[in-house]
């Protein structure tokens, strides 16, 4: 049995699409089910998804937009120095590019500034604002930040520098005292859509300033929207759809250069932005100064764009390497904390790069489904600084706020946060957070949930159906790619692929459907051929050498069936850590018990284990039967290690024993060094068989072993060869090997299952 990581929410929809509406939009059954699952059943809503996106809302409805435009135009007319103050992530650099380019087209005297993540942090910075004033700037326009920058904005305004805030982040209890605030969630205005990203707000301001903003602004706004994970509904959906069209028809030189460095040549989709473009724009700000990413987006020529894209790609590769190293270290620490019973993982270490800790924390959460904090220990500054990621059931902001006295500074929301605290508060915070988790878990399950849109049969998975699903694109936050469930599909083949077998590739069912399960290559040791499994995930079309085939991207996998997994091959040895405490290891009576979870076959096992590793070949089947009849388990791993096999040597016939004894009796005594090989030739046996027979004779008292001499006892009690314990042990060993090592695996599994059901 493989337990799924998630609870699969397969509740059926309560509303349906009428046949008339389905015919009107030519909805195939699978698309109809997807829309119904997402609660999109009315004609108007379906039309907005498939045919007529929501028109962009009137820019004049945005807060302070007239005031902002008037002040900007005045600054341009008076040749005032304007500073666009941005942010270091993908949304921030696209916002900066849109507004700087807009102001340049209007002839403004404009510069731009992006604060350093590590030395200045996020948002308005008093020193930066003072420096801008000293350099003659009289108007600062923030993009993708500013709504929480009360004090720096107040300082700037007091110096005679007007600040226009354009932002989309959560508004606090009070608004900053800025000249103007352009924000879709402004409490005194009623903009129809509240969830624009920073680039979306910058794009709207550009619309107010320019009669016809360049097409590439739509592309940049689409990149910011997807990269910042804002709601892909309403106006954002329109921005992304139109932006993707621009990217595929009139792609800016900067984006072409990024894609060329990534060796990406396919159509540009929301996934291209999410997994290729966005991470590269983010990488620079995570490691160094994000200005390079903005310079790339503002590049006008192919040569300049190519040069800067090469530098960005270097940072992206470095970011990947750093993430990989920290993930390995953090996973080991996380496993240890989970084994100790921690339900909130706080992982801290010196020399962890702070810029990537959020990425690593997300990986830990994906693996363990527990809220996680990663901190870099800075002994020079005597503080720990890092990022947190949470799960739906636990508000990261609330749980950190409960222990604010232990934290020097933190900020965030339900699912993520950043923080700084004194080094000596790391352990107290870990303890306090786990105590809070004990209270939360007393009434709340931590099992994460995945919403399943449609249950499929294998026959439903076709190129045509996937192309129909693509009609619903783009997918993203609040309009996710549909999640499908496929039940009891046989596993034909499993491979661990990628570096160090990090990922899992499966071939499934009669159609040999290809499926990928990222970052789960370790599951290969839990899968057996023809085992029926249940999977949930998304569908894609895989193209290779001009050939298209369906592909299932797995989000979760499980099976309710008992698993008996064959690990007897030598190249599969040592797959199990001897210190895994949640696994029972069954060993030979002559082996040493390495821990409390090591047991001899046939020994009583009071503790419950889901997984049993038959590490050693047992001495006799009776002991295995006893074990199987008294355990409740879901997985058995057959390693069955042994030094040598005797099955093919077999047991000497009784006549061979008799002939051997007669030969010994005739000579009275023999010297093995001289007489051993002639005796083997006489009996037509191998030396080890002769040695076995001599040991049986010795046990029964038929002979004596005196130094190098074998001497026959002339006076001895008559006994049968079969009465020898050595003889019986060899019979049992042959029986064990015949069944456990050499029997057809299907018959072996059937025998194990039959023994499990005896009790």
Q: How does residue 673 score in pLDDT terms, banded at 50, 70 and 90?
A: confident
Dihedral sign for Cα atoms in the order 151, 152, 155, 156: negative
Token reading at 227: 């990269």
pLDDT > 70: percent of the chain: 98
Instruction: Name the least confident of 476-485, 538-547, 750-759.
Output: 750-759
Residue 333 burial by Cβ neighbours in a 10 Å radius (0-12, 13-18, 19+): middle
DSSP symbols for 745-758: HHHHHHHHHHHHTT
Q: Is the predicted pLDDT of residue 713 greater than 70, yes or no?
A: yes
Adjacent-strand bridge partners of 563: 635
Q: Is the pLDDT of residue 307 over 70?
A: yes
Place 580 in a pLDDT band, splitting at 50, 70 and 90.
low
Residue 571 has pLDDT above 70, yes or no: no
What are the two backbone dihedrals, phi and then psi, of residue 540, each rounded to the nearest 5 degrees?
A: -135, 165
Using DSSP, state whether 725 is helix, strand or coil: helix
Task: Spell out the residues 6+ positions from residue 442 whose beta carbon is closer than 8 angstroms to its own.
Answer: none
Element (H, E) at 67: helix 65-77
Nearest to 630 by CA among 599, 654, 659, 653: 599
- Is the pLDDT at 575 greater than 70? The verdict is no
**First CA to last CA distance, the chain:** 20
Question: Where does the pLDDT of residue 579 fall: very low under 50, low under 70, confident under 90, or very high at 90 and above?
Answer: low
Q: What is the 3-state secondary structure (H, E, C) of 534-579?
A: EEEEEEEEEEECCEEEEEEEEEEEEECCCEEEECCCHHHCCCCCCC
Check if the beta carbon of residue 281 is closer than 8 Å to that of residue 90.
yes
Give residue 735's region: left, alpha or beta (phi > 0; psi -120 to 50): alpha
Helices (DSSP H) in 601-744: which residue ranges?
A: 621-628, 654-667, 672-683, 687-700, 725-740
What pLDDT, on a 0 to 100 scale, did the predictor assign at position 328? Answer: 94
Residue 121: pLDDT band (50, 70, 90) is confident
Q: Kindly calculate the radius of gyration of the chain based on its CA atoms and give it in whole angstroms.
A: 35
Per-residue three-class SS string for 294-341: HHHHHCCCHHHHHHHHHHHHHHHHHHHHHHHHHHHHHHHHHHHHHHCC
Query: What's the CA gap between 96 and 202, in Å, rounded?
Result: 8
Tokens of 675: 């007489």
DSSP string, 514-537: EEEETT-GGGGGG--TT-EEEEEE
- DSSP conformational letter for 274: I
- Tokens encoding 429: 């915070």
583-587/598-600 β-pairing? parallel
* Reported confidence tier of residue 759, pLDDT bands at 50, 70, 90: low
- Mean pLDDT rounded to a whole number for the chain: 93
Residue 617 pLDDT: 95
Question: Which residue from 468, 98, 94 is spatially nearest to 273, judged by alpha carbons?
Answer: 94
Q: Is 717 exposed, middle or buried (0-12, 13-18, 19+ CB in 10 A)?
A: exposed
- SS3 label, residue 739: helix
> In 3D, which of 203, 228, 183 has the Cα closest to residue 88?
228
In the chain, % of residues over pLDDT 90: 82
Q: 393 and 365 in contact (C-beta within 8 Å)?
A: no
Q: What is the pLDDT of residues 586-637, one digit of tens each?
A: 999 999 999 999 999 999 999 999 889 999 999 999 999 999 999 988 889 8
Per DSSP, the chain holds a count of helices (H) and strands (E) of: 25, 26
Q: What is the mean pLDDT of residues 272-297?
A: 95
Which is nearest to 237 in space by CA: 417, 469, 475? 475
Q: What angle do CA 197, 122, 325 make, to 5 degrees?
A: 95
**Banded pLDDT at 11 (limits 50, 70, 90):** confident
268 vs 714, higher pLDDT: 268
pLDDT, mean of residues 48-62: 90
- Higher pLDDT among residues 566 and 432, named by residue: 432
d(CA 131, CA 113): 11
pLDDT at residue 122 above 90?
no
Nearest to 372 by CA among 339, 345, 401, 333: 345
**Residue 483 pLDDT:** 97
Residue 583 parent element (H or E): strand 583-587
Look-up of token digits 């996680």 = 372
165-178 average pLDDT score: 92
Region for 45 from its dihedrals, namely left if φ exceeds 0, alpha if ψ lies in -120 to 50, beta otherwise: alpha
Cα torsion through 540, 545, 547, 551, rounded to 10: -20
Sheet arrangement for strand 372-378: 345-350, 372-378, 383-389, 416-422, 409-412
Cα–Cα distance for residue pair 703/716, rounded to 1 Å: 9
The reported pLDDT for the residue numbered 527 is: 85
Is residue 44 scored above 80 in pLDDT? Answer: yes
Residue 409 phi, psi dihedral angles, 5° rounding: -160, 135
Averaged pLDDT for residues 245-270: 96
Q: What is the DSSP string of 362-391?
A: HHHHHHH-S-EEEEEEETTTTEEEEEEE--
Mean pLDDT of 336-360: 95
Structure tokens at 603: 């020994």
pLDDT exceeds cutoff 90 at 568: no
Whether 140 contacts 322, CB under 8 Å: no
CA dihedral 275, 277, 280, 286 (to 10 degrees): -80
Element (DSSP H or E) covering residue 493: strand 484-497
The pLDDT confidence band at residue 528, using thresholds 50, 70 and 90, is confident
- Res 439: pLDDT: 94
Average pLDDT over residues 14-41: 93
Length of the chain: 759
List the one residue out of 180, 207, 208, 209 whose CA is nearest residue 107.
Answer: 209
Mean pLDDT of 260-264: 96
Q: What angle do CA 300, 305, 307 make, to 5 degrees?
A: 140
The Cα–Cα gap between 466 and 650 comes to 58
Residue 30 has pLDDT above 80, yes or no: yes
Count CB atoms within 10 A of the CB of residue 264.
Answer: 14
How is residue 548 written in tokens?
């298209």
């Amino acid at each position: 049995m493989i337990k799924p990581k998630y609870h699969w929410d397969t509740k059926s929809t309560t509303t349906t699409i009428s046949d008339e509406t389905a015919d009107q939009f030519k909805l195939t059954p699978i698309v109809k089910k997807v829309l119904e699952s997402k609660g999109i059943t009315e004609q108007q809503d379906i039309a907005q998804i498939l045919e007529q996106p929501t028109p962009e809302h009137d820019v004049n409805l945005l807060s302070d937009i007239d005031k902002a435009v008037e002040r900007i135009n005045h600054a341009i007319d008076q040749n005032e120095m304007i500073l666009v103050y941005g942010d270091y992530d993908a949304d921030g650099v696209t916002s900066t590019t849109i507004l700087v380019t807009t102001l340049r087209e209007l002839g403004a005297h404009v510069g731009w500034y992006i604060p350093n993540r590590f030395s200045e942090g996020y948002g308005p910075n008093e020193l930066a604002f003072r420096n801008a004033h000293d350099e003659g700037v009289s108007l600062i326009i923030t993009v993708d930040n500013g709504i929480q920058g009360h004090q720096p904005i107040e300082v700037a305004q007091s110096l005679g520098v007007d600040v226009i805030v354009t932002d989309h982040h959560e508004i606090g209890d009070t608004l900053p005292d800025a000249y103007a605030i352009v924000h879709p969630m402004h409490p005194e205005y009623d903009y129809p859509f509240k969830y624009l990203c920073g680039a979306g707000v910058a794009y709207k301001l550009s619309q107010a300033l320019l009669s016809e903003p360049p097409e590439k602004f739509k592309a940049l706004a689409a990149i910011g929207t997807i990269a910042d994970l804002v709601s892909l509904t309403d106006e954002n959906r329109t921005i992304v759809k139109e932006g993707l069209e621009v990217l595929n028809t009139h792609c800016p030189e900067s984006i072409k250069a990024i894609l060329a460095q990534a060796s990406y040549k396919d159509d540009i989709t929301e996934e291209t932005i999410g997994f290729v473009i966005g991470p590269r724009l983010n990488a620079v700000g995570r490691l160094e100064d994000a200005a390079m990413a903005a310079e790339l987006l503002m590049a006008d020529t192919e040569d300049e764009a190519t040069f800067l894209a090469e530098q960005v790609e270097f940072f992206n590769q470095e970011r990947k390497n750093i993430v990989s190293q920290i993930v390995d270290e953090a996973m080991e620490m996380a496993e240890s904390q989970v084994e100790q019973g921690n339900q909130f993982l706080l992982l801290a270490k010196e020399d962890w790069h702070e810029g990537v800790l959020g990425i690593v924390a997300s990986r830990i959460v994906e693996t363990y489904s527990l809220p996680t904090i990663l901190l870099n220990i800075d002994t020079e500054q005597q503080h720990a600084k890092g990022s947190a990621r949470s799960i739906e059931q636990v508000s990261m902001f609330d749980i950190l706020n409960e222990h604010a006295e232990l934290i020097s500074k933190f900020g965030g929301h339900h699912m993520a946060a950043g923080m700084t605290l004194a080094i000596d508060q790391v352990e107290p915070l870990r303890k306090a957070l786990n105590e809070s988790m004990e209270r939360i878990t007393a009434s709340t399950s931590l099992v994460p949930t995945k919403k399943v849109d449609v249950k499929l049969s294998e026959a439903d998975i076709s190129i045509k159906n996937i192309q129909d699903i693509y009609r619903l694109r783009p997918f993203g936050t609040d309009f996710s790619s549909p999640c499908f469930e496929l039940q009891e599909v046989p596993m034909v083949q499993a491979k661990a692929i990628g570096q160090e077998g990090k990922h899992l590739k499966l071939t499934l069912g009669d159609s040999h459907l290809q499926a990928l399960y990222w970052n789960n290559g370790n599951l290969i040791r839990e899968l057996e051929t023809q085992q029926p499994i249940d999977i949930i995930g998304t569908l894609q079309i895989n193209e290779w050498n001009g050939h298209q085939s369906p592909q299932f991207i797995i989000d979760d996998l499980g099976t309710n069936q008992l698993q008996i997994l064959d690990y007897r091959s030598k190249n599969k040895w040592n797959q199990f850590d001897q210190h895994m405490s949640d696994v029972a290891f069954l060993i030979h009576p002559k082996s040493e018990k390495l821990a409390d979870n090591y047991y001899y076959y046939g020994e009583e096992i009071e503790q419950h284990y889901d997984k049993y590793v038959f590490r050693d070949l047992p001495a006799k089947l009776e002991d295995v039967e006893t074990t199987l009849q008294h355990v409740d388990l879901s997985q058995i791993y057959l390693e069955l290690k042994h030094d040598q096999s005797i099955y093919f040597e077999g047991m000497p016939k009784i006549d061979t024993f008799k002939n051997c004894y007669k030969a010994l009796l005739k000579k009275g005594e023999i010297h093995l060094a001289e007489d051993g090989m002639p005796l083997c030739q006489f009996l037509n046996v191998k030396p080890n068989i002769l040695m076995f027979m001599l040991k049986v004779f010795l046990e029964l008292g038929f002979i004596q072993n005196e130094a190098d001499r074998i001497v026959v006892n002339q006076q001895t009690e008559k006994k049968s060869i079969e009465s020898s314990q050595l003889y019986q042990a060899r019979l049992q060993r042959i029986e064990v090997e015949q069944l456990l090592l050499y029997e057809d695996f299907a018959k072996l599994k059937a025998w194990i299952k039959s023994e499990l059901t005896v009790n």
